[in-house]
Structures are given as structure tokens and as C-alpha cells.
Structure 1
Amino acid sequence: MSKTTRATLALAKAGATFTVHTYDYDPGADRIGLQAAEALGEMPRRVLKTLMAEVDGKPVCVVLPSDREVSMKKLAAAFGGKSANMMKPGDAERLTGYHVGGISPFGQKRAVPTVIETAALAEDHVFINGGQRGLQVRLAPKDAQQVLKAVAEPVAA
């Protein structure tokens, strides 16, 4: 497994301080983020999942703790929209250039507006997908927010 991905290159280019961690990815896991947290020995609230969605038909990226679900109503409101829905996996892969299970908010093929769940900012560090299955980057949540130019909103259900 390569530890250099578009995500890690984007973080390095932005001058972010981060470390790279690998784990045994389980493609059959019901909830990939929770499986990653368990494999890393971390609390699920510190292992953030990356979801691709649409608000009023426009793509957005959502970063939130792996033990939380996104509220579509709150997500739409975070971007001043009326409705939100999850993006189809194939569409998410084409837009980001990553495979489902390895979608990172960093280094996507096309930058889209991003929101990070406010609860994640209370942690001293978080893990976020590093651009491939079984690869996570550990960094300060405020650094992730800065690199992503993400808005912080309470989007969890």
C-alpha cells in the first residue's frame, strides 16, 4: 500500500502537520468508519467519515464522526439550500477520483464546498481517510478545517 496519495500530497502542499496510519480494511463491514476506528484502536468520535452529498443538486462534502449520521435537513441548511441527499456511489467516485471506502476530503479531483461537524472540532486530534482503503491521516481537526476551507456546522442527526 502506498502511503503517498493525492490526499497526503494535498496536506503536505498545504503545510499541514499529519501522520499516516494504515489498518486492515474490511470491505464487508457494515459501517466502514466504525470498522476503521476499531482497527485503529480509536474512539469512533475521533475517526471521521467522508460523505459525498448534494444540496439542491450541487455536490458537497461532509466530514463527521463515524458514529454519527448526517441530518439531510441540517446539511441543506448549512449550505443555504432547501434539500439534500446522499450522492450515488458511482457519482461520488467519478467526482472525487477515489473509490468508496477510500474517499478523502483532501485532494479530490474537483474541489466542492465542505462542511465539518462542529463536534469534531472539540477533539485534540482526528483521523480522516487518506485517499485509499485502509489509510488514515491523523491531524488536528482545525488543521483539517483550514486545509479544506470547510464551514463548521452541526450537521449530525
Structure 2
Amino acid sequence: MAGKGTPATLLLAKRKITHTVHSYTHDPRHDSFGTEAAEALGVDPAQVFKTLVAEVDGKLTVGVVPVTGQLDLKALAAAVGGKRAKLADAGAAQRATGYVLGGISPLGQRTRLPLVVDDSAQRFATVLCSGGRRGLEIELAPADLVTLTGATVAPIAA
């Protein structure tokens, strides 16, 4: 797959957004994709964000939180005006986003879902998120992530 872009990287190139693509060799034995990325790339884990798909009142919604924390489902629901949230079924998440688990990017998803980025992202000049496959991270300004995805920014990490 070397040299082949993902929907996320293609979107960034098309929109001419300043970003850096980082790749590393994914180890399937690693228990956390996000912490694996932080370790492999030598960056602060609080600056690496994971993308989680949840159901809020039956509607798929995306939460983007630091790999150092968990998604607060109640806070995610509140951020989008909902009442109840639960993590989405893996198959539903993959079908809606067009990405595999461990490689779900908040950018370039097949279906544009409501998206909330944890407010801690604003502490950094750049953040890293999945580039659309395991072993591929994209570094970009948090404001660009929010603009490209139409995200809401709210405290959703526990």
C-alpha cells in the first residue's frame, strides 16, 4: 500500500491543508493502536487522538479523544444534544466510516457523521490522528481538524 493515499490524506491534499504524514510498522500484538502510535513516533501520548464511533440516541456519532483517556459517553451525548450514548457496533462503525478498526480516521469518512473533538486538543499546536489505516498517523493543527470535519469542540474525555 506504499504510496497509495487514503481518503483522509487525499482530502488534506485536495484542500491544501498543512499536515505531516507519519507511518510506522503496526504490531498486531500491541493492545492499543493509539499508545502504539505515540511510542513508535516518540510523541506525547496526550497529543495523539483516537477516533471512536458511538451511537447517540440511535444515531452514529464520532468522538475524538486523547489516547491517554477514555470517551465519556454522557459528555458526548450532551455535546450533540442527545441523551444516551453507547459505543457503536464494530461492523456499523466500519461500514459508516469506510475504515477498519484501529485505522478509523476522523477525516474522509464514507458517511459524514456528527463529530466531537475533545477540547484538550486546543492545548497543542498540532495533534495526531489516524490517517486511515493501522500504522499511519496524520499530524495537523487542531483548528484544521475541526474545520475539515465540521466538529464540535467539547470536554468529552474521561
| Contact map agreement 1:47 1:127 (CA 8 A) in 2 | yes
The answer as to 2:79 corresponding to 1:78 is yes
In structure 2, give the amino acid aligned to 1:141. Answer: P
| Contact map agreement 1:16 1:147 (CA 8 A) in 2 | no
Query: SS of the residue aligned with 1:63?
Result: strand
Query: SS of the residue aligned with 1:62?
Result: strand
| Contact map agreement 2:33 2:134 (CA 8 A) in 1 | no
Identify the range of structure 1 (4-13 vs 108-117) with the bigger mean alpha-carbon deviation. 4-13
Corresponding position of 1:133:
134
Structure 2: tracts of 5 or more residues without a match: none
Tell me the percent identity: 48
Q: What pairs with 1:36-115 in structure 2 (closer than 5 Å)?
A: 36-115=37-116
| Contact map agreement 1:19 1:137 (CA 8 A) in 2 | yes
| Contact map agreement 2:97 2:110 (CA 8 A) in 1 | yes
Shift of 1:41: 0.4
Corresponding position of 2:11:
10
Q: Distance in 2 between matches of 1:14 and 1:56?
A: 33
- TM-score, normalised via structure 2 length: 0.95
| Contact map agreement 2:45 2:66 (CA 8 A) in 1 | yes
Q: How many residues end up aligned between the 2 structures?
A: 157
Shift of 1:15: 2.5
| Contact map agreement 1:125 1:141 (CA 8 A) in 2 | yes
